[in-house]
Structure 1
Amino acid sequence: MTELRIPQHVHAGEAPHGGTVLFNARSGQWYAMNGTARELWEEWRRTGDFDTGVQTVADRFPGVRYDHVRLDAEKLADDLVERGLVAAEKDRTPATEATPDVGEERAFGQAACVPQGDGVRWLRTAGWLGLCLALLLLRLPFRVPAYAVDVLKRPRSRLRPATMRQAESMLAVVRRAADGHPGRAACLEHSLGTVLGLALAGLTADWCLGSADDPYRFHAWVEIDGETVTRHDADDRVSFRRVLVL
């Protein structure tokens, strides 16, 4: 009997039509799955048992042959295991954590942020350094920058909360610095550079990653006390749901 465990680095969010999006915080990759796959995923997350999940879902669809449901479930489980979204174990009680599921791997969409300088020279220097550090960390497995942000924001750190004005100013500096970068610099680089720049200046903010639907889009941004740092672009009309907050 195969038992399934959801790793702690897998985070899930809702998707339309009963589906689910999930984020692998180790690889930095997003996935999406439909409603039927989500039914299986939820049962595996709840029970940790492959066979129980298959039987439960088969009972919900009496018009579909059990062997067809099981075959699809095996393919789904193999796909999830291959991508590091599920761990398959033998005769071991699983420890369930997050809620996610499979589908097509996507990349972060581009986003822009509003510039507003505050005239503080050190914030500008910290912004440039924050972007450089972000570009370096994002060349490594995603778990590395995620860990770096987590360490910087631990209670024993001496960072104080940033104000919205300070965060907007830092974001503006990071975006201007990114304009001179010959490689990719979009929402992921901008937001991480802003959070790291604020940390170098002794300030803290939330680094958020989330998704939107129809079509699937994935985004990274900065928040202060639950409020998104101001930005003006076409995506302002889009509501992104938070999947992971660091």
Structure 2
Amino acid sequence: MRIPAHVRHETMPDGGVVVLDCADGQWYVFNSGARDFWQCWSSGRSLAQSVAAVSDRHPDLPRERIAADGAALLGQLTALGLVEAEGEGRGGSRSTTRGWAARFGSAEAPSRAANPLRSDGAGAVPGAVSGAATRARPMARRRAVSRRYPAGPRRPTLGPTIALLGAALAVRLPFAVVHRAVRATRGRWASAPEDPRRAEECLAALRRTARWFPGRAACLEISLAAVLLSAAHRRRLDWCLGAAPDPFRFHAWVACDGAAVAASLSAPEDDGEPPPYRAVLTV
């Protein structure tokens, strides 16, 4: 088994795993039971080898039950295109790419989708109830600019307005297209990293502009607009997409040469200090 190149994953502090499918921008949350199998498959083990490894971790559980749960999970992940057998191409059903931007910034607990691993009785692999089908609940279409941000000038400036408009249009495209477009700004065109102070000023200007913006202006649009605005000046800002647990929520921010810009780590729905977001994808 192998994990396709378009699938990115990160282990959270609570032991769960967050997965981002870069082909369609869909997030998945794995609990500890699914995590055990995922770690085995990400290291190239077969189903039989994975069942043996998970059985060793849980000697008190029936091996037959672990094997059944593992086979069901593998079937689900294969259908989603998150796991492939060696030598096979991408297959399975795909979720829609439309509206992927609405999944960022949700502070609500993820919803639970239909799951073949549901087994509430005794003997199940710990945490295998939610398996791989736990997805982020789409965030309501609402203005995501907090009033605690400074009001700024009476009218937005031209550069941030164009960048925010471009970002708002870009997030309506399939995620894979946006991902490739951001990567295209790297290299010779925007080889020099952005100055952290300039990045802070850029974010402040974008947030002020967002107050006048008629469309959705959440963390995803603002961070992407900051990347585009820096690229227009031939400077490179890293675009980071990640998550934080308890409850799981997803965020987009920017970084200068690997160091996160503090102002972008704060989301409007955060109360007090921002949670410890962990990057799953950095472009």
- TM class by shorter chain equals 0.7 to 0.9
Counterpart-to-counterpart distance in 2, 1:91 and 1:148: 27
Deviation of the 1:219 alpha carbon: 0.6
AA aligned opposite 2:9: A
Counterpart for residue 182 of structure 2: 149
2:52 aligned to which of 42, 50, 55: 55
In structure 2, relative to structure 1, the CA distance for the partners of 1:244 and 1:84 (3 Å cut) is same
Measure, in 2, the Cα distance between the counterparts of 1:107 and 1:152. Answer: 31
Which of 15, 19, 28 is residue 16 of structure 2 equivalent to? Answer: 19
How many residue pairs match? The answer is 230
- SS of 2:239's partner is strand
- For 1:37, the aligned partner's letter is A
Whether the aligned pair in 2 keeps the contact of 1:126 and 1:198 (CA below 8 Å) is: no
Q: What is the alpha-carbon distance in structure 1 between the residues aligned to residue 159 and residue 199 of structure 2?
A: 12
Equivalent positions of 1:52-201 (< 5 A) are 52-89=49-86, 102-106=132-136, 124-154=157-187, 156-201=188-233
Which residue of the other structure, out of 252, 261, 271, is the alignment partner of 1:220? Answer: 252
| Contact kept? 1:208, 1:221, Cα under 8 Å | yes
Task: Name the % identity.
Answer: 37
The answer to whether the 8 A contact 1:32-1:104 is kept is: yes
Which of 42, 47, 55 is 1:45 aligned to? 42
Q: What CA distance in whole angstroms lies between the structure 1 residues aligned with 2:161 and 2:185?
A: 18
- 1:55 Cα deviation (Å)? 2.1
Q: Residues 210 and 111 from structure 1, CA distance in 2 versus in 1: closer, same or farther, beyond 3 angstroms?
A: farther
Question: Hey, what's the Cα distance between the residues in 1 that align with 2:190 and 2:263?
Answer: 26
Label 1:72 to 1:214 Cα distance change in 2 as closer, same or farther (>3 A): same
- Other structure's SS at 2:134 match: coil
- 2:3 pairs with 3, 6, 24, which one? 6
Q: Where is the strand percentage greater, Structure 1 or Structure 2?
A: 1
- Secondary structure at 1:81's aligned position in 2? helix
Q: Could you tell me which runs of 5 or more consecutive residues in structure 1 were left unpaired when the two chains were aligned.
A: 93-100, 118-123
CA contact (8 A) 1:115 1:171 kept: no
SS in 1 for 2:24: coil
Greater than 6 Å deviation, 4+ residue runs: none
Query: For the Cα contact (< 8 Å) 2:253–2:260, is it kept in 1?
Result: no
Conservation of the 8 A alpha-carbon contact between 1:205 and 1:222:
yes
Distance 1:15 1:239 in 2: 10
CA contact (8 A) 2:151 2:208 kept: no
Counterpart code for 1:11: R
Report the residue type matching 2:55 in the other structure: A
